[in-house]
Amino acid sequence: MPSEKVVRNSGLAAIVAGLLWTILFPAGWFNFDAKPLLGMLLFVVVMLFFGLGLAGLYKRCPNQLLVRLSFGLSYVGIVWSLIGGLLVVTTDSWWYLFISGFFVFALGLTLVGIATLTTRT
C-alpha cells in the first residue's frame, strides 16, 4: 500500500475513533459499572482506531528520538489500558491497570503533540 493511502486511511480511522468517542462517551456507553463488557468492547474498538490513526501520523513524522519515544509511549499506553480492560471479567483490580494505561496513553499523546510541533518537515 503506498504511503499516501496509509496516511489517508489512518486519518479516516482517527476520525472514526474521535466520532465514536465523542458520541458514545457522553451517552453513557462507556459505563463500566452497569454494563462492563459492552463498555469495554466499545473502548477496545475506539482505542484500536486511535492506534491506526497514530500509525499514519507516525508515518508522516521524521525519524527523530522524541518522535519515536512519544509514539512508543502512546502505543504502550494503548496496550496497557487494553490489557487492563480485557481483565474486567477475571480480576477485581483491573481498574488500576486500565486507568494507569490510559494516563500513559494521554502522556504519550501530549509528547506526540510536542514532537510534531518541534519537527521541521
Number of domains in the chain: 1
Q: Which of 58, 61, 53 is nearest to 121 (CA)?
A: 61
Domain carrying residue 33: 3-118
Positions of the chain with pLDDT lower than 70, given as ranges: 1-2, 26-37, 89, 120-121
Q: How many C-beta atoms lie closer than 10 Å to residue 19's C-beta?
A: 12
Summarize pLDDT for 37-71 with one digit per residue, the tens: 677 777 788 888 888 888 888 887 878 888 889 99
